[in-house]
Amino acid sequence: MTLVTRRSLRRRPGQASPVTAFVALGSNLDDPPERIRHAFQALAALPGTRVVRTSSLYRNPPVGDPDQPDFVNAVARIETGLGPRELLGELLAIEGAQGRVRDRPNGPRTLDLDLLLYGERTVREPGLTVPHPRMLGRAFVLMPLAEIAPEAIVPGRGAVADLVRNLDTSGMIKLAEK
């Protein structure tokens, strides 16, 4: 569990009050642990955003397409003045800066960033659904999220600590911190 406070949370004129959001991070190409650590730093550098806490890194088998390397996953808790759509745009930009190519669903990737929760809001817009629509069935999302925020509520579903109990976490391996 890491506390990152590289950037103070300053609001721009007209910017909303900070919201707590959770971002899932995953990688299985080109030194995944380092990619995740670099992404934590990139999140901390976003305007009006502060990384409050990061989970441990977890290694796990791929989902969907087994013919690829294992993934390394984590979750970051942030406070941000960015709106959900604006935050998603920044997450996609971070992925792009780390060479993310979307050539096949569930395929290998240098970096994947997913907006899991944005305050207590439910968002359903083209290209953006919060809570993340597939987070509930994924141990590689809920286990690191439960590590840093077991009390977090998934709107309409309940507390993360309760939700993770229903998943098979046997494939999850917590990596040693560097």
Catalytic positions are: 100, 109, 112, 114
Alpha helices in the chain (DSSP H): 32-44, 84-97, 139-148, 160-164
The beta-strand segments (E) located in the chain are: 19-27, 49-54, 58-60, 71-80, 112-118, 123-125, 128-130, 153-154, 158-159, 173-174
Query: Do residues 25 and 76 make contact, with C-beta atoms less than 8 angstroms apart?
Result: yes
Separation CA 66–CA 108 (nearest Å): 10
Separation CA 117–CA 69 (nearest Å): 27
DSSP H/E element including 83: none
Separation CA 149–CA 131 (nearest Å): 15
- 87: nearest Cα among 60, 48, 126, 124: 48
Q: Could you tell me which residues are beta bridge partners of residue 135?
A: none
